[in-house]
Amino acid sequence: MLNNWFDQLEAMYEQMVDWRRFLHQYPELSFQEIETPKMVATILESYGIEVRTNVGGRGVVGTIRGAKPGKTIALRADFDALPIQDEKNVPYKSKIPGVMHACGHDGHTATLLAVAKVLSDNKDSLSGNVVLLHQHAEEKLPGGAIGMIEDGCLDEVDYVFGSHLSSIAPLGTYVYRSGYSMAATDFFEITIRGKGGHGSAPHETVDSVAVASQVINQLQLIVSRRVDPQKEAVVTVGSFHAGNAGNVIADSAKLTGTVRTFDPEVRSLVEEEVKQIVNRVCEAFHAQCEIIYDNGYPALYNHEQETATFEEIIKNSLQEDMLTERPPVMGGEDFAYYLQERPGMFFHTGAALSNTEDRYPHHHPMFDFDEKGMVFAGKALLSIAHHYVTENSNINLLVK
């Protein structure tokens, strides 16, 4: 059965490419998606799939109900783009100035649409249901996942899985990790207000640039001196803006940055340390401060049992040497919210271009990927569905 599903998916490759390239030419930013969810809903409905729209805002949920009762598994794809100018010289270059799919979400959407067609065409062989989570706004806080969950997208779901195409990982590989896999993503904005004045008379001022510099230096000590060295954390100040003339002492300065952690206790510790350092340094140098600290997505935790099941699924359905375990990464993903609600896991599917000179990281204006990666991602998702919602799985695992 599964090999037949694979054949059906491969037969849809050109359609997947067409969908992906259309979406790439007409990207839509997070929380501004209008035409993309319409397209997704229209395609799913054309397959006879039960569809809900405007889920949690702009999400689309399709449900494929099998002929027999059983478990319900959810598969997720995101469809928002980024505020980046597409600089590639390709026929499917973005037609929307300053907006592009620089993270592969167009490929995720095309993949899940093809998977939906295969599963819908074979629903009479399903013992259980498949929920298709087409999610908006993964790239921008608070993210689309949390709204979709609050709107009931997981109400009938027992397990949830997702894949992310990788422009760096070799084509046809599956990159994953059990346990903490991706970091919690927090952001801060610090405004320091001093007293401006002439550059020749610093004693008459409170130099916001000097104070902000001290804040930056002290923030770098959090990880090295306050966090357990056996636990991961990153504190990065990404921007520093102050003043506009060389002979003027600026009366205010603004810092923005991000914090990445896995352990919830470390996450809380770093937040408290950031706030204390800023307040105390400013107090010591007679400046005022304002701190905006936003808790972003939680750390993504792949459940051990479901990750072990995924390993066996790939080994039995595809090929063992396709699997690549890797250390956790400090990037974030709002798929973490789904995994706080239901058991499951999230993995990356290799889609690196064959020419290494053409490979660029995610969120880069030259980003692209090998579109054959969509077939590999689709085969993995079909294999997962086959295991959980058919009676013919050849994997000897006890599903909880």
Q: Active site includes 204?
A: no
| Residue linked to tokens 């579109």 | 371
What φ, ψ does residue 163 adopt, rounded to 5°?
Answer: -130, 150
CA distances to 81, 107, 237, 286, 368 from 88, in Å: 15, 16, 30, 50, 8
Q: What is the rounded distance in angstroms from the CA atom of residue 143 to the CA atom of residue 146?
A: 7
Whole-number Å distance between alpha carbons of 241 and 72: 50
Q: What whole-number distance in Å separates Cα of residue 324 and Cα of residue 86?
A: 30
Q: Verify whether residue 138 is a known catalytic residue.
A: yes
- The full length of the chain comes to 400
What gap in Å lies between CA 117 and CA 113, rounded to an integer? 6
Amino acid, res. 10: E
Contact predicate 384/198, CB 8 Å = no
Q: Tell me which of 33, 80, 139, 370 is the catalytic residue.
A: 80
Which residue among 138, 158, 334, 371 is the active-site one? Answer: 138
Determine which helix (DSSP H) or strand (DSSP E) holds 309, and give its type and residue range. helix 304-317
Would you tell me how many other CB atoms lie within 10 Å of the CB of residue 17? 16
Using an 8 Å Cβ cutoff, are 340 and 298 in contact? yes
Strand partners, 300: 182
What's the distance, CA 362 to chain centroid? Answer: 11
Token pair listed for 236 = 């990065």
Contact, 259 vs 186, CB < 8 A? yes
Which active-site residues does the annotation give? 80, 138
